[in-house]
Every structure is written in C-alpha cells, then in structure tokens.
Amino acid sequence: MYAVIATGGKQEKVATGQRVNVELLGEDEGAVVSFTPVLLVDGDSVLATPEQLKGVSVTGKVVGSAKGPKIDGFIYKKRTNQRRRFGHRQHYTTVEITSIGTSGSSSTGSAEPDKTEA
C-alpha cells in the first residue's frame, strides 16, 4: 500500500516505514504529524476523489532534520563590474511514515445497499 501526500507545495509518494524529507515543519522531534493524501493505492483499489479520500489518514513521526545540497550562485553583468556570489542550503524535516489507512472499509465498497429478494 502506498499513498501520495501533499506537503510544502510538493507531492511525495510514501509507504509505511519510509523516511522522507519534507519542507521544514517547525515541529519538535518525536511529534506526530498528519498529511493530506492526494492518492491512495491499496492492491486492486485506487482512491483518488475527494469523497473517497475523506476517510484516509496518513500519519508520521518527526525523527530529525536534514540539509539539502549546497547550491552556489553567481550573478554577473558584463562591462559594469557588477558581480555577486551567494550560496543556499535548504533545511528539511525528516519524517518517518507510521501509518496509512482508512477509517472504514465502506469507502472502498459500492454506494448501493444490498438488495435481498423475498
């Protein structure tokens, strides 16, 4: 089972037990966070509409922080002696996905009630 979550303006494909780096959340280490699911794939069924995803929850635990790669930048304008060097290193929060699940099994079933003939 895996899910696609939305966090920090990006989407990430996650599975239970996986560690992902997401945009800085501002949460302390050990805090439990929940994410907005965009898509859930469970074997044969795929849940993608907002009505189907109402009962789906993706939770994770903050395990630490990380830094991305160093990016060096240089701005240069010719014939004017204008030069500028800068660097950037993005900070991330490392989250371990603890559970992906639905609150009920009725979200994958059909919307029609069972009809019994007399």
Q: Is 97 exposed, middle or buried (0-12, 13-18, 19+ CB in 10 A)?
A: buried
Q: How confident is the model at residue 113 (pLDDT cuts 50, 70, 90)?
A: very low
Query: pTM value?
Result: 0.74
| Alpha carbons 113 and 116: distance in angstroms, whole number | 10
| Alpha carbons 104 and 118: distance in angstroms, whole number | 30
Residue 15 has pLDDT above 60, yes or no: yes
What b-and-e string marks burial along 50-81, b requiring 16 or more CB atoms within 10 Å of the CB? eebbebbebebbbeeeeeeeeeeeeeeeeeee
Question: Encoding tokens for residue 44?
Answer: 């044969």
